[in-house]
Structure 1
Amino acid sequence: MLIDLASFTPGLSLAGGLVIGGAAAVLVLFNGRIAGISGILGGLLSLPRRDMAWRVAFLAGLVGAPMLASLLGHPAIADIDAGWGQILAAGFLVGMGTRYASGCTSGHGVCGISRGSIRSLVATATFMAAGFVTVFVQRHLSGG
């Protein structure tokens, strides 16, 4: 296994994790809400719409932060080796999984585990196992 040292940024990764954890803690302490992206977005899409201001602000921050980083000279460049059909299918499957798991990786992994939720621990372990299997199949069994 080779590590691309130009992309190996443990300091920035740690800082990002601390910011995400801090933001999740602030949201639950001051607003009593879980920072799960699927639940936040789902609250905007369902009727009746409640608590719109903080939901819009949270999602605007998710979109705005990479845009601000790009303006400051640190663009987030994604190198996705997939076509639009694969991307749409993956998005659909992730959306289905999010509904079946009653939350997404951010809600279960960041917020649920920190609250000691067994359901979140099982969901996060399942997400991780599915990711490990997918990478293994793609790299070793797909023939490509």
Structure 2
Amino acid sequence: MSGLDQLHYATHTTAFALTWLIVQVIVMACVTTELIRHYLARGTRGRYIMTTIVRTLTVPAILVKMVDIVLDVADKSWLNLVIDIVITAFLIMKWYWTKDDDNWWKGRGKKLGLWARRTFTRSSRTAAQAA
């Protein structure tokens, strides 16, 4: 069996189908929360929660759809390829456009980076002192 035949067989197993179903539910949850967020007023708790959910789910959804695009190219499923490219473009645009809203992740990147830097430099200093 060639590599493409093995890929085709692997993408048609039950375990793969169930995993992919769960991933597609995450993508749809991201799109749905984005639609709900659009109709809520700025500064409200509902919009804050929906923006946090969108920002959290969008990056994994984009990565999954990119893998789906690669699988569609390998499987020569051109209609699914076009649909997945459109969905991925929508997710990337929405991820880019939701940066201005307030959400739980805003400012957390710097805080997490500082925490990681302090934690890992402390452990390396301790290891250097022990030697």
Same fold by TM-score, threshold 0.5 exceeded?
no
TM-score bracket relative to the smaller structure: 0.3 to 0.5
Structure showing greater radius of gyration is 2
Structure with the larger helix share: 2
